[in-house]
C-alpha cells in the first residue's frame, strides 16, 4: 500500500486561486499532470516560472552552471524576517565567503566530534517519550531542537534560552508559508512586504534570543572558556581569502538557518519516517532488529551497522522531502527543452515532484526502502534524488542529517513500537517544510520480549498489524 497522496486538485485554476493555494500550502496548488511532465510553464502578469523535472535540466542548474542560476530573491521575500542575510538566501561572492567559513565545521571529522551530543539527544528523547497516543511531529521537533542546541551551543533543550527559542520557532513555522504574496508582485524595496504580524513578532524574538547566545559565546571565546562545539568552530574560523570572521549580526543570520535547516527539516523527516514505519510494521521490525545491535555506549563507528535504517530514512526523504521546492533565477537567456527563457524567470526545481515522478521511479508513490539496494535505483539516486539540493549549494549539513536521522530513528524504534491509528492518516502540506495538516498521531508502546538476536517478538494477530 502506498502512503496517502496530497489532496487532489484540478489541473487548471485561476491565478487568484493559485496564489491563495500557494499562501496556504504550496503542495495543494500542484496538479497531477506535473508528476509526469518534464517541464511546465506558469505565467503571471509579472514573471514566468518554469518547473523543471528533467534530470538534465536539474543537473544544468545545480551542477553545470550554478553561477548563472542564483537563488531567487522571491523566495527571500518570505524568509527575510528570520534569516536576514544567511547563507541560505545569499548569492555570489557573499555566499561563497559564507560557505568558506561555515563548511569546515561540518567536515567528516567534525561529525565524529558531534556524535556524542546526537546520541545524548536521542536518549533524552527516548526518556521523554511515554506510551499512549502521541503527536509525533511535536515530539520530533523537540528531539531535533535538542540535537541542534547540544551540537551548536553545548546546551540541552532544557536550557531556558533553548526552550524559549524552540517554543517561539514552533509558533513561527506555523504562520510562515514558503512563499508570501510579495514573492509574486514586483514591489519596490521600500514597499511593506506583507508579512503576518505573528510571523514578524516571532522572528524578532528568535533573533533576539540567538543574539544573546552568540554574544555570550563570543565572550567565552575571548576568555578561553568556550566549549569546542559547532558555534565555537564557526565563530573562530576566518575566511581563508580575507582573514575576516563573522560579525555578531551575520553569525545570528547563520545560526537562524542552522536552526531552520537542522531542526525543522530533521523534525519533518523523522516524523514522517515514524509514520511510515507505523504503516509498515514489517519494515519497523527490521529496523528494530538492526537497532538492537547498537551497544549501550555507542560511538560513531556503530553507524555502519544501521544500513537498513539509513535506507528507511533515505526513502522517507524521497517521499516527503522536507524542502519540497527550490527556486533559482536565470541571469542569461536560456533555451530549455526548446523553450526560450528570458533572464529573470523563476526556475523551480521540485524534489516533491521529481522524487515521485512517474517516468523516473518504479512504484514512485510506494514506500520501498529496499529499492536503495537494487541496481535499478542507482541512476535515480544519482540523477533524480536531491533532498539536500546538489552541486556547490548542496546543504552543508547533509552529512550531519544523514547521521542524525538514522541514529534517532534507531534509538526510538529500539525502545518503542509505533502503530498507526486507523482512519487518522496525515495529509502532507508545506509551510517552511513538509508537515502534516493536522499533526501525526501514533500509538506508542514499549518494546518487550527481545529475542537473543535482539528482535522484538510481536504477539498480535496479523490482521491487527496489516497496513489497511
**Residue found by looking up cell 543537473 in the block:** 59
Question: Is the distance from CB of 165 to CB of 155 less than 8 angstroms?
Answer: no
**Residue found by looking up cell 502532507 in the block:** 428
The mean pLDDT of 309-316, rounded to a whole number, is 98
78 or 129, higher pLDDT: 129
C-alpha cell at 108: 567528516
d(CA 410, CA 118): 12
**Residue found by looking up cell 540567538 in the block:** 210
Question: Is the distance from CB of 445 to CB of 421 less than 8 angstroms?
Answer: no
The burial of 362, by beta-carbon neighbours within 10 Å (0-12 exposed, 13-18 middle, 19 or more buried), is given as: exposed
Say how far residue 259 (Cα) sits from the centre of its chain: 11
Mean pLDDT of the chain: 85
**247: closest CA among 256, 234, 229?**
234
Choice among 48-52, 189-193, 315-319 with the minimum mean pLDDT: 189-193
Q: Is the pLDDT of residue 456 over 90?
A: no
Instruction: Strands of 82-194 (E only): list them.
Output: 132-135
- Does the 15-465 domain belong in CATH 2.60.260.20? no
C-alpha cell at 14: 485561476
Q: On the CB side of 125, how many CA atoms lie within 13 Å of its CA?
A: 33
Choice among 60-64, 65-69, 230-234, 298-302 with the minimum mean pLDDT: 298-302
pLDDT at 164: 87
Q: Is the pLDDT of residue 13 over 60?
A: no
Q: Where are the domains of the chain?
A: 15-465
Q: On the CB side of 315, how many CA atoms lie within 13 Å of its CA?
A: 28
**Residue found by looking up cell 503527536 in the block:** 135
pLDDT bracket for residue 195 (50, 70, 90): low
The mean pLDDT of 271-284, rounded to a whole number, is 98
Beta bridge partners of 211: none
d(CA 329, CA 255): 26
pLDDT at 21: 58
Q: Is the pLDDT of residue 106 over 70?
A: yes
C-alpha cell at 16: 487568484
DSSP 185: S
Q: Is the pLDDT of residue 88 over 90?
A: no
Q: Is the pLDDT of residue 247 over 60?
A: yes
The burial of 459, by beta-carbon neighbours within 10 Å (0-12 exposed, 13-18 middle, 19 or more buried), is given as: exposed
d(CA 277, CA 379): 26
Question: Is the distance from CB of 233 to CB of 258 less than 8 angstroms?
Answer: no
Q: Is the pLDDT of residue 455 over 90?
A: no
C-alpha cell at 452: 537473543
d(CA 263, CA 241): 31
Choice among 19-33, 248-262, 378-392 with the minimum mean pLDDT: 19-33
Q: What is the pLDDT of residues 145-171, one digit of tens each?
A: 999 999 999 999 888 888 888 888 777
pLDDT at 319: 96
pLDDT at 459: 34
Q: What SS3 class is residue 30?
A: coil
d(CA 247, CA 253): 10
- Enclosing H/E stretch for 109: helix 108-128
Q: What SS3 class is residue 404?
A: helix
Amino acid at each position: 500500500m502506498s502512503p496517502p497522496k496530497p489532496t487532489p486538485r484540478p489541473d487548471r485554476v485561476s491565478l487568484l486561486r493559485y496564489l491563495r493555494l500557494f499562501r496556504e500550502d504550496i503542495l495543494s496548488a500542484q496538479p497531477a499532470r506535473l508528476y509526469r511532465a518534464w517541464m511546465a510553464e506558469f505565467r503571471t502578469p509579472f514573471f514566468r516560472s518554469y518547473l523543471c523535472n528533467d534530470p538534465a535540466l536539474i543537473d544544468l542548474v545545480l551542477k553545470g552552471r550554478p553561477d548563472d542560476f542564483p537563488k531567487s530573491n522571491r523566495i527571500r521575500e518570505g524568509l527575510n524576517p528570520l534569516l536576514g542575510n544567511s547563507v541560505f538566501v545569499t548569492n555570489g561572492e557573499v555566499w561563497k565567503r559564507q560557505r568558506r567559513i561555515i563548511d569546515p565545521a561540518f567536515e567528516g571529522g567534525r561529525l565524529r566530534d558531534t556524535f556524542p551530543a546526537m546520541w545524548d539527544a536521542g536518549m533524552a528523547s527516548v526518556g521523554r517519550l511515554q506510551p499512549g497516543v502521541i503527536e509525533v511531529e511535536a515530539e520530533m521537533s523537540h528531539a531535533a531542537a535538542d540535537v541542534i542546541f547540544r551540537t551548536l551551543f553545548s546546551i540541552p533543550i532544557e536550557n531556558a534560552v533553548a526552550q524559549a527559542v524552540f517554543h517561539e520557532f514552533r509558533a513561527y513555522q506555523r504562520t510562515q508559508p514558503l512563499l508570501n504574496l510579495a514573492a509574486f508582485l514586483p514591489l519596490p524595496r521600500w514597499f511593506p512586504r506583507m508579512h503576518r504580524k505573528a510571523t514578524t513578532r516571532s522572528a524578532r524574538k528568535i533573533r533576539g534570543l540567538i543574539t544573546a547566545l552568540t554574544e555570550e559565546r563570543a565572550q567565552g571565546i575571548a576568555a578561553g572558556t568556550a566549549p569546542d562545539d559547532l558555534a565555537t568552530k564557526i565563530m573562530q574560523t576566518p575566511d581563508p581569502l580575507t582573514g575576516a570572521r563573522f560579525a555578531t549580526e551575520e553569525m545570528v543570520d547563520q545560526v537562524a538557518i542552522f536552526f531552520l535547516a537542522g531542526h525543522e527539516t530533521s523534525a519533518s523527516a523523522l516524523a514522517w519516517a515514524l509514520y511510515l514505519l507505523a504503516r509498515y510494521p514489517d519494515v519497523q521490525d527490521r529496523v528494530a532488529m538492526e537497532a538492537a545491535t547498537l551497544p549501550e555506549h555507542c560511538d560513531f563507528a556503530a553507524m555502519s551497522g544501521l544500513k537498513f535504517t539509513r535506507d528507511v530514512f533515505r526513502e522517507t526523504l524521497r517521499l516527503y522531502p522536507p524542502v519540497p521546492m527550490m527556486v533559482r533565477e536565470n541571469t542569461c537567456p536560456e533555451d530549455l527543452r526548446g523553450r526560450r527563457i528570458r533572464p529573470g524567470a523563476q526556475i523551480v526545481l521540485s524534489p516533491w515532484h521529481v522524487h515521485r515522478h512517474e517516468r523516473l521511479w518504479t512504484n514512485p508513490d510506494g514506500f520501498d526502502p529496499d529499492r536503495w539496494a537494487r541496481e535499478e535505483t542507482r541512476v535515480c539516486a544519482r540523477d533524480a534524488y536531491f533532498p539536500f539540493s546538489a552541486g556547490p549549494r548542496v546543504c552543508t549539513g547533509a552529512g550531519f542529517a544523514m547521521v542524525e536521522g538514522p541514529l534517532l530513528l534507531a534509538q526510538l524504534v529500539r525502545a518503542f513500537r509505533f502503530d498507526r491509528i486507523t482512519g487518522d492518516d496525515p495529509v502532507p502540506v508545506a509551510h517552511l517544510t513538509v508537515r502534516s495538516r493536522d499533526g501525526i498521531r501514533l500509538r506508542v508502546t514499549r518494546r518487550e520480549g527481545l529475542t537473543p538476536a535482539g528482535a522484538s517478538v510481536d504477539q498480535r494477530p496479523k490482521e491487527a498489524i496489516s497496513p489497511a
